[in-house]
């Protein structure tokens, strides 16, 4: 592990969205990740929608400060825009702070770029000032399609672009983080997700432009690793 310019524990935790969003994620997983977020002061906890009421109540009961995150149109992105809007609106009552919207990948791959933008904009309009991150699932995209996707994300009014769901064969790579940063500049921010399993990956991706990280089962190991390094 390189130690020059090493991220400290507070900084790493402040960039982590600990996420229980796999099909087999359980209530116990959500509770475990919430406790991890409380212990280390992680930025956010994401759960599948059915566990949002539990996550909201758990945060309230413990006086925790982590943000609550919800996926929308997850993981395929192929729901109608109307369904995504209704879905997002329905989660507002669970005090969701941030929404991770799966792009309509089928539209994107079909060259229906205006439809992709309109899909994003409709959800953003529905959630108002809540934060919207759009998952573009880089695994399936070449550079041209990544740029098309980012253009739709920006034009649709979202604040973040996110690399993947964690359900595709690959997720964030140094190459696609660097490419995304070259496109977005300072217009929007980048969340890396999918295959984030090592502290060094977070360190490297931070240096080239990622500012948030979606991490599941590796979160505890990563946080314990940086804590053990004692860069406080």
Residue numbers annotated as active site: 100, 162, 191
Q: How far apart are CA 26 and CA 191, in angstroms?
A: 24
Instruction: Report d(CA 221, CA 232) in Å as an integer.
Output: 17
Instruction: Name the DSSP class of 168.
Output: S
Q: Are 210 and 177 in contact (CB under 8 A)?
A: yes
- Residues 40, 13 contacting (CB under 8 angstroms): yes
User: What single string gives the DSSP state of each residue in 36-66?
Assistant: HHHHHT-SEEEE-GGGHHHHHHHHHHTT--P
C-alpha dist (Å) from residue 62 to 34, 37, 56, 106, 107: 10, 12, 10, 41, 42
Task: Count CA within 13 A, CB hemisphere, residue 77.
Answer: 22
User: Rounded distance, CA 119 to CA 183, Å?
Assistant: 21
- Residues 209, 201 contacting (CB under 8 angstroms): no
Measuring CA to CA, how many Å separate 12 from each of 54, 160, 174? 26, 18, 18
């Amino acid at each position: 592990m390189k130690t020059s310019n090493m991220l400290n524990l507070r900084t790493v935790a402040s960039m982590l969205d600990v996420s229980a969003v796999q099909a087999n994620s359980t209530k116990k997983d959500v509770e475990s990740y919430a406790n991890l977020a409380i212990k280390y002061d992680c930025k956010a906890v994401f759960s599948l929608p059915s566990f949002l009421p539990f996550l909201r109540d758990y945060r309230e009961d413990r006086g925790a400060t982590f943000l609550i995150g919800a996926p929308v149109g997850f993981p395929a992105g192929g729901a109608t825009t109307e369904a995504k809007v209704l879905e997002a609106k329905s989660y507002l009552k669970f005090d969701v702070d941030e929404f991770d919207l799966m792009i309509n990948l089928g539209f994107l791959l079909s060259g229906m770029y205006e439809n992709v933008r309109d899909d994003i904009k409709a959800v953003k309009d529905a959630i108002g000032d809540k934060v919207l991150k759009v998952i573009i699932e880089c695994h399936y995209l070449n550079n041209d399609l990544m740029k098309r996707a980012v253009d739709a994300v920006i034009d649709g009014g979202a604040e973040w672009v996110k690399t993947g769901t964690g359900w595709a064969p690959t997720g964030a790579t140094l190459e696609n983080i660097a490419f995304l940063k070259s496109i977005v500049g300072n217009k929007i921010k980048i969340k890396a997700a999918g295959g984030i399993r090592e502290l060094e990956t977070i360190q490297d991706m931070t240096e080239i432009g990622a500012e948030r990280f979606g991490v599941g089962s590796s979160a505890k190991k990563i946080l314990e690793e940086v804590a053990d390094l004692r860069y406080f």
